[in-house]
Amino acid sequence: MASPSEQADYEHIEVHKVAGNIGSEIRGVRISGELDPAVVAEIRRALLRSRVVFLRGQDHAGDDTQREFAERLGTPTKPHPTIAGDGATILPIDSEHSKANSWHTDVTFIDRIPAISLLRAITLPPYGGTTVWANTVRAYTRLPEPLRVLADRLWAVHSNLYDYARPENAGRGELDAKFQAYRREFEQLEFETEHPVVRIHPETGERALVLGHFVRRFVGLNTPDSNDLFNLLQRHVTKLENTVRWTWRPGDLAIWDNRSTQHYAVDDYDEHPRRLHRITLAGDIPVSVDGIASTVRKGDASAFSPVAGTAAVG
Active centre residues (catalytic): 104, 106, 263, 278
Contact 145, 81 (CB under 8 A): no
240 C-beta neighbours (distance < 10 Å), count? 9
Run of H or E including 304: none
Give pairs for 38-44: CB < 8 Å, separation 24+: 38/11, 38/12, 39/12, 39/13, 40/72, 40/73, 40/313, 40/314, 41/312, 41/314, 42/9, 42/10, 42/11, 42/12, 42/13, 43/13, 43/73, 43/255, 43/314, 44/73, 44/312, 44/313, 44/314
The alpha helices in the chain, defined as continuous H runs, are 4-7, 37-50, 63-73, 136-141, 145-153, 174-186, 223-237
Strand, helix or coil for residue 104: strand
**Residues whose CB falls within 8 Å of the CB of residue 184, separated by 6 or more in sequence, listed in order:** none
293 C-beta neighbours (distance < 10 Å), count? 14
- 92 alpha carbon, distance to own chain's centre: 14
